[in-house]
A and B are shown apart, each in its own frame.
Chain A
Amino acid sequence: MRPEEEQKPEPTLGSETDLDALARATMVGQPLALIKRRRADRGAQYDAPNMIRGFLIVGAIVIVVVGAVFIGRALGPSAPTYRWTWSVVPQYLPFLAQGLGLTLFLSVVTIVCGMILGILVAAAKLSSYPPLQVFITGYIEVMRGTPLLVQLVWAYYCLPIVTGLQLPPVASVLVALILNMGAFYGEAFRAGLQSIPRQEVESANVLGLSYWQQMRYILVPQTFRIILPVLISMSISLFKDTSLVAIVGLADLMYNGLSASVSTYRPLEILTVVAIFYFAVAFPATLILRRLELHLMKKQ
């Protein structure tokens, strides 16, 4: 006789609680039950639909900004004399968009190459070959312990002098960005890899899978899923941190914003628009990536 199929109960999230009973007993409770059900479907942290969340967040930001302006006016020592002149902005929009193009290019290349480098860094750090471990640890600590701005300047100005290597400006900036992010992604991947139960690796060994096959089919996919939230926030940060390349004169969004400010004498208007540009990319990106995260979570 074959044994009875035993299905383990779903984790406690979906199980009946006093709250559910209360919700069912009262009319008022129905929306509550609905929210709870939804929470059970999606996992505890995600209780409101993304769109509503998005509107709430944007609304909160508007309230904070407007509130700050009003409070500032109320408490300010004298009546403000600044007159916003938004009419200077439209003619510079294509120029700013051009800068955004470079910003996006730098971000995407850095994220893709940085993640690949990060996987290698994590693999090296977890290797059983001591010299490699020491080297990688040194690299990570230098990258984490020095400001990205310094690294950018170093790659742009110092590297050609020290090594005689003449890289195009974009390339030298990318070197600094990728090496920097490689260290951070690498540490995230290392933490993720170490969180995978040892027995999985052992069983993969017994199955005869090679080191790279284990990485490719078992470790990296799982690690990626575990650390996805961290990778997302790091990547969003990186997208904004690319604004530092303006310091070496690369025509990214920030640099073009600064030069438009100078030629119009209207930094407040222009830089506000620059901020909106950054936000208009970063915020939808977080929403889309959160969807991806949820999708991956559901699959397992």
Chain B
Amino acid sequence: MEPLFEAVAVHKHFGENEVLKGIDVAVKRGDVLAIIGPSGSGKSTLCRVMVGLEAFDRGELRLHGKTLANVSEKGRVKWSEDSKKLRLDIGMVFQHFALFPNMTVFENLALAPRKVRGKSQAEAKKLATDVLSRVHLSEKRDAYPSKLSGGQQQRVAIARELAMERAILFLDEPTSALDPELVREVLVVMKELASAGMTMVVVTHEMSFAKQVASWVVFMADGEIIEQGPPDQLFGHPTQQRTKDFLATPEDLV
């Protein structure tokens, strides 16, 4: 099956520092790809490059088998002609939720569907009701984000992407900014999305989530993919020493 989304040989540097040294990632429809690795390994940068928030120096992004962006001879990112429309299929959930605090939950959900997708007020309403129930927050429809817990805010952020009917969703450390007791509710929602067939790329530190939910795990360090494979294999029988070191849990130390 042809990949839904592909990053091909993506390179990026900040000044002297090469943060992505030729990364290849392919995501098939329905895949849940977990990207793990130590901090500073470039996994968040990769995520930002793939959604188009960050420029890259070499390589190509592909969506639905079509070129989305590549790099011109001058070293500038060149977006394809239909990229504006194509990119609407790519969603992103941020570490710090990035909800719009001047709007209610409903307004957050309805803004882009209405203004970008051109939905009517009635359609947007139906969409919002639908996606809110998918993240179990139907009763928070008219609340302002500041009245919600971190976990609830992150679920609204996920719902906002669902309302845009994305083909693929990138989540950049979606639970890293949350208090420990709020992590679970977000992971539960993500797990439900995965079983509903949502294609996701998750940069995460939640190893148990990666183990249970991911269909493919990528381990990155120093801007390179060190090892990748299905979770059973990567967590159960890592072949690379760096992977073994990274996966050595604190419990193993004592």
Q: List 20 A-B contacts (CB under 8 A).
A: A3-B185, A4-B185, A6-B152, A199-B96, A199-B97, A199-B98, A203-B94, A204-B100, A205-B53, A206-B51, A206-B87, A206-B92, A207-B116, A208-B116, A218-B102, A221-B102, A225-B102, A299-B144, A300-B101, A300-B102
Q: For the complex, give the distance between the alpha carbons of A9 and B111 in Å.
A: 29
* Cβ–Cβ contact A207 & B150, under 8 A: no
Chain B, residue nearest A203 (CB)? B98
* 0 or 1 for each of A180-201: is its CB under 8 Å from B? (1 = yes): 0000000000000000010110
* 0 or 1 for each of B93-132: is its CB under 8 Å from A? (1 = yes): 0111111111100000001100110000000000000000
* Cβ–Cβ contact B144 & A300, under 8 A: yes
Say which residue of A3, A217, A221 sits within 8 Å of B188 (CB atoms): A3
Q: For the complex, give the distance between the alpha carbons of A110 and B181 in Å.
A: 52
Q: For the complex, give the distance between the alpha carbons of A4 and B136 in Å.
A: 10
Given contacts A207-B111, A208-B116, contact A2 B90 (CB under 8 A): no
The answer to whether the Cβ of A222 comes within 8 Å of any Cβ in the partner chain is yes
Say which residue of B84, B98, B188 sits within 8 Å of A2 (CB atoms): B188
Q: Which residues of B contact A204 (CB under 8 A)?
A: 100
Q: Which residues of A contact B111 (CB under 8 A)?
A: 207, 209, 217
* Cβ–Cβ contact A217 & B115, under 8 A: yes
Chain B, residue nearest A199 (CB)? B98
Closest Cβ of chain A to B15, distance in Å, is: 19
The answer to whether the Cβ of A202 comes within 8 Å of any Cβ in the partner chain is yes
Closest Cβ of chain B to A234, distance in Å, is: 22
Q: Which residues of A contact B99 (CB under 8 A)?
A: 200
* Cβ–Cβ contact A207 & B182, under 8 A: no
Q: For the complex, give the distance between the alpha carbons of A221 and B111 in Å.
A: 14
Q: Which residues of A contact B84 (CB under 8 A)?
A: 208
Given contacts A197-B96, A202-B94, contact A207 B102 (CB under 8 A): no
Q: Which residues of A contact B160 (CB under 8 A)?
A: 203, 207
Using a Cβ–Cβ cut-off of 8 Å, how many residues does chain B contribute to the interface with A? 39
Q: For the complex, give the distance between the alpha carbons of A3 and B102 in Å.
A: 27
The answer to whether the Cβ of A7 comes within 8 Å of any Cβ in the partner chain is yes
The answer to whether the Cβ of A213 comes within 8 Å of any Cβ in the partner chain is yes
Q: For the complex, give the distance between the alpha carbons of A222 and B181 in Å.
A: 30
Please name the 5 residue pairs, one residue from A and one from B, whose CB atoms are nearest each other, closest first: A3-B185, A203-B98, A199-B98, A207-B112, A208-B116
- CB neighbors of B among A134-191 (8 A): none
* Cβ–Cβ contact B181 & A209, under 8 A: no
Say which residue of B90, B98, B103, B185 sits within 8 Å of A202 (CB atoms): B98
* Cβ–Cβ contact B149 & A197, under 8 A: no
* Cβ–Cβ contact B87 & A208, under 8 A: yes
* Cβ–Cβ contact A209 & B112, under 8 A: yes
Say which residue of B53, B95, B182 sits within 8 Å of A6 (CB atoms): B182
The answer to whether the Cβ of B146 comes within 8 Å of any Cβ in the partner chain is yes
* Cβ–Cβ contact A300 & B92, under 8 A: no
Using a Cβ–Cβ cut-off of 8 Å, how many residues does chain A contribute to the interface with B? 26
The answer to whether the Cβ of A83 comes within 8 Å of any Cβ in the partner chain is no
* Cβ–Cβ contact A209 & B94, under 8 A: no
* Cβ–Cβ contact A218 & B100, under 8 A: yes
Q: For the complex, give the distance between the alpha carbons of A208 and B89 in Å.
A: 10
Given contacts A6-B182, A7-B149, contact A209 B53 (CB under 8 A): no
Closest Cβ of chain B to A223, distance in Å, is: 10
Q: For the complex, give the distance between the alpha carbons of A218 and B145 in Å.
A: 14
Q: For the complex, give the distance between the alpha carbons of A209 and B114 in Å.
A: 10
Q: Which residues of A contact B115 (CB under 8 A)?
A: 209, 213, 217
The answer to whether the Cβ of B71 comes within 8 Å of any Cβ in the partner chain is no
Closest Cβ of chain A to B37, distance in Å, is: 21
The answer to whether the Cβ of B164 comes within 8 Å of any Cβ in the partner chain is yes
* Cβ–Cβ contact B98 & A200, under 8 A: yes
Q: For the complex, give the distance between the alpha carbons of A8 and B164 in Å.
A: 28
Q: For the complex, give the distance between the alpha carbons of A8 and B179 in Å.
A: 10
**Most chain B CB inside 10 Å of its own CB: which residue of A3, A5, A7:** A3
Chain B, residue nearest A10 (CB)? B147
* Cβ–Cβ contact B100 & A200, under 8 A: yes
Closest Cβ of chain B to A196, distance in Å, is: 9
Q: For the complex, give the distance between the alpha carbons of A299 and B142 in Å.
A: 12
* Cβ–Cβ contact A6 & B96, under 8 A: no
* Cβ–Cβ contact B91 & A6, under 8 A: no
The answer to whether the Cβ of B231 comes within 8 Å of any Cβ in the partner chain is no
* Cβ–Cβ contact B112 & A3, under 8 A: no
Q: Which residues of A contact B100 (CB under 8 A)?
A: 200, 204, 217-218, 222
Q: Which residues of B contact A8 (CB under 8 A)?
A: 148-150
**Most chain B CB inside 10 Å of its own CB: which residue of A3, A7, A199, A206:** A206
- CB neighbors of B among A259-300 (8 A): 299-300
Closest Cβ of chain A to B133, distance in Å, is: 10
